[in-house]
Amino acid sequence: MATIDLQKKSVKIVLEKKQLTKVTARVGLVLDITGSMRTLYKNGTV
């Protein structure tokens, strides 16, 4: 099985220049399936 490289090369260069290659980012994903925020998505607030 082959691995897929999802890294963006230009981003890697910027991170290396700023010495941020060892920093780990924490990402949160929130999904709104109720539709209660629909107007906020449509007008660009979110």
pLDDT of residue 4: 67
pLDDT tens, position by position, 7-41: 777 778 888 888 988 888 888 988 878 888 889 88
Q: Measure the CA–CA gap between 31 and 11, rounded to whole angstroms.
A: 27
3-state secondary structure 14-34: HHHHCCCCCCCCCCCCCCCCC
What is the pTM for the complete model shown? 0.37
Instruction: Assign 3-state DSSP to the chain and report helix, strand, coil percentages, each to 5.
Output: 30, 0, 70
Is residue 46 within 8 A of residue 37, CB to CB? The reply is yes
Q: Are 37 and 43 in contact (CB under 8 A)?
A: no
